Amino acid sequence: MAMRECDGSVVLLDKKAVTSSRLWCAVEQAEAALASMAKDAGGAARCRFKVDLATAVSGSAMLIVDGPTVEHREGTSMGGFPVTLLEACLATDVARCQVTEDGDRSRLLGKLSGHAPMEGQLTEPPASHAGYAAANAHVRSIFAPAGLLASLAQGDSESLRKFGASLKLDALRRKLYLDLSGMGDALSRRALAEVARSLPPALEELDLNCSGCDLLDDAALEDLSKSIGSLRSLQSLRLNFQGCKGIGPAGVLCLARALSSQDLKLLDLDLAGTGLKAGAQALVSPGIVRSVSMAAAGALRGSAKHGGKGGYPGMLVTVEMLRQQANGPPNAANRGGHGPWIRELRHSGVLVCLLAHPDSRLREGAAAQLGRVASPGMSRHSAALEACARDESAAVREATIVALGRLCCAGVMDSSEAPATAVAERLCDPGRDVRRAAVLVLLKLPIEGISCYAWIIAILAKHGSQDLRRKADKALQVTDGTSRANALAQVLIHKNAEIRALAARSMSKLGASAAAHADVLAACLGDKEAPVREAAAVALASLGAAVLPHSVTLAARLGDGARSVQAAAVQAMLHLPAASILPEAWALSSSLRHCCTELHKRADSALEALGEERRCLAYVGLLGHSEPLIREAAATVLGQLGSAAAVHCAALGENLGDRSKSVRLAAAQALLNLSNQGEIFPIEAW
């Protein structure tokens, strides 16, 4: 209740970061993080609850402010804030935290796990639970952004990667504000790329302030654009590049192409004082920009000539401007089409501008002509061409693939990593001519330097070229298992379901090398395509002890609507050693309906060995599962366990308000069964 009346809180850290080892502190921090994500009854975000961090170093106060707080800006001191304190807090584990009173541990962990003890009783909380993991994640959501900023300000690249990786895994974060202004030389292209890689995938609002960072250039903005383009839930984007003189047209074009697939409700782009000239409004297509603050461009207001009746607030590629840059309009003989005019152009900057034009014929011609520009500076346009390789027009995609191949073979563009990967992705293209072009390019490129990811796509995709598969096999023979596993983990999120399924099956052949990616395989168990879920279950069966944190997710597939997935999950559960399976997973194996008698026997035996109390706790832990079928099964079984389940009637009572009717009925029947057996429990459970 007190937290609802506050705008924020402050976490005070001593020199030993004792708060990271105290359970009360960890739970309060988790509650504060939850408050910062709270929404009202209509689903709209409330006024954000902020969590500031403070400590003292040599008698001087150090403060990291959460969010854009003008009145506290002068008090921030990220450059002197001890990163080691933030690292200690990042490693908080509520299951291992200490308490002064034993009763506090039982109550707090019971609250997190959903098995709060009854008044006057002290029960041993479970050693591990999904609720603990959620609380740990909420605590990390406070310290990961702060640690990222502090390590960046102090030039600590190792800590920067550590905090960045933690922030990337924050699947619950919807808003992120990072103030990188004033970082100076600390914010290099490499540092910004690390920040870009750290963006959580579920972000809806991103506010990034990079004003005054002199080292940022077009290449840095290209790296950032790639990461922003992958944020599929993004609705609001604010970018401040005031005074970043190294940013020019090429970088802004990459940003425009990255945003072309987004459905933004707000884009606030501040490019005042950058390297853009007055003609920079020609770089962003209409409809992308909703709100633009750009003092460097003087012609942003729409007109009847360019924007219709009301104009448009934004920037547009205009044929008239491009003709002027190309030293005059095309002659009268060429006015009927854009092709001859395009072939006359040699200026790569103008051609790159055309890659964002609404007319697909212009985009196709520009991509084809760029492949003939043998300029050493073409490498800076690689991101723009890679974006064109995903164009909606098959003709544009084909021309772009051919252009990338020519530039890489000519040595004016590095064939490693991004360009070759963009070409390999087109091996799955629906257009036959595009696939054929990608095959021919990859056959011409040298093996050395091309990413393992690209070669794996070349093996898994249905492109019909045995020569390319033999070349890919040869390339992968010299790579180690870890590199192949890392590449396959990236392929597991490919947009092509068949490729994802094949990648998951390939993972099962790597053994221990794939163990580090058990979390990615577990996520594939929730894939919308049954073949992918089946392949993920098969792969997890080969990972042994690494599956332990994900055994509940695997066991949940025993209730899958696809029989092939059920069968794969059964075989996986039978194959795994008993030590790799959590009690909740055994509970699922016992209660869900599947056709394997042997697995039922193994599950019943394992649950019996746990004892009645632990067995009940396993089922109580499933009452909060995301799938209604599992919540229903857990409630049904609890109603049959008698006195051991009676102490958990409050948890059953919570399911009486479940959104699923079948779960509500199961919970009510369970409470009725316990009542008929003479078990006494509080009337509040009803």
User: In terms of domains, do 542 and 661 share one?
Assistant: no
442 found inside a domain: no
What CATH number is attached to the domain comprising 501?
1.25.10.10
Q: What is the mean pLDDT of residues 173-200?
A: 84
For residue 519, the enclosing domain spans 480-597
Strand 205-209, strand 236-240: pairing: parallel
* pLDDT in the model for residue 652: 81
User: In terms of domains, do 190 and 74 share one?
Assistant: no
- Is 404 within 8 Å of 378 (Cβ atoms)? no
Q: Who contacts 44 (Cβ-Cβ below 8 Å, separation ≥6)?
A: none
308 found inside a domain: yes
* pLDDT in the model for residue 399: 92
What are 455-504's pLDDT values in tens digits?
Answer: 899 898 887 788 998 998 888 888 888 888 888 988 888 888 999 999 99
Give the 3-state secondary structure of residue 421. helix
User: In terms of domains, do 585 and 646 share one?
Assistant: no
DSSP character at residue 38? -
The token pair at 234 is 């993004």
* pLDDT in the model for residue 591: 75
Query: What is the greatest pairwise CA distance in the chain?
Result: 96
Q: What is the mean pLDDT of residues 318-346?
A: 37
* pLDDT in the model for residue 326: 35
What are 65-123's pLDDT values in tens digits?
Answer: 776 654 444 445 566 788 888 888 888 888 888 888 878 888 888 788 776 655 555 66
489 found inside a domain: yes
User: In terms of domains, do 239 and 307 share one?
Assistant: yes
Which carries the bigger pLDDT value, residue 348 or residue 629?
A: 629
Q: What is the mean pLDDT of residues 177-188?
A: 80
- Is 192 within 8 Å of 178 (Cβ atoms)? no
Has residue 315 got a pLDDT over 90? no
Has residue 347 got a pLDDT over 60? no
* pLDDT in the model for residue 4: 57
What CATH number is attached to the domain comprising 250?
3.80.10.10
User: In terms of domains, do 231 and 132 share one?
Assistant: no
User: In terms of domains, do 103 and 126 share one?
Assistant: yes
470 found inside a domain: no
The token pair at 633 is 């099964």
- Domain end point (choices 292, 316, 340): 316
* pLDDT in the model for residue 437: 92
Written as one letter, the residue type at 368 is A
* pLDDT in the model for residue 554: 87
Q: Terminus-to-terminus CA distance in the chain, angstroms?
A: 24
Q: Who contacts 32 (Cβ-Cβ below 8 Å, separation ≥6)?
A: 3, 9, 49, 51, 142
378 found inside a domain: no
- Domain end point (choices 299, 316, 333): 316
User: In terms of domains, do 77 and 205 share one?
Assistant: no
* pLDDT in the model for residue 445: 87
Ordered DSSP codes for 7-22: SEEEEE--TT-GGGGB
* pLDDT in the model for residue 513: 83
- Is 343 within 8 Å of 351 (Cβ atoms)? no
**Distance (Å, whole) CA 598 – CA 441:** 52
422 found inside a domain: no
User: In terms of domains, do 591 and 657 share one?
Assistant: no
- Domain end point (choices 316, 332, 350): 316
User: In terms of domains, do 561 and 623 share one?
Assistant: no
* pLDDT in the model for residue 438: 92
Mean pLDDT, the chain, rounded, equals 76
User: In terms of domains, do 197 and 307 share one?
Assistant: yes
Has residue 286 got a pLDDT over 60? no
326-335, 375-384, 606-615, 651-660: which range is least confident on average? 326-335
- Is 545 within 8 Å of 580 (Cβ atoms)? yes
The count of residues in the chain is 686
User: In terms of domains, do 506 and 562 share one?
Assistant: yes
User: In terms of domains, do 562 and 521 share one?
Assistant: yes
408 found inside a domain: no
436 found inside a domain: no
* pLDDT in the model for residue 398: 93
**Distance (Å, whole) CA 348 – CA 369:** 9
212-221, 275-284, 541-550: which range is least confident on average? 275-284
Count: domains in the chain: 4
Give the 3-state secondary structure of residue 638. helix
**Distance (Å, whole) CA 500 – CA 536:** 9
What are 606-625's pLDDT values in tens digits?
Answer: 777 877 778 788 888 888 88
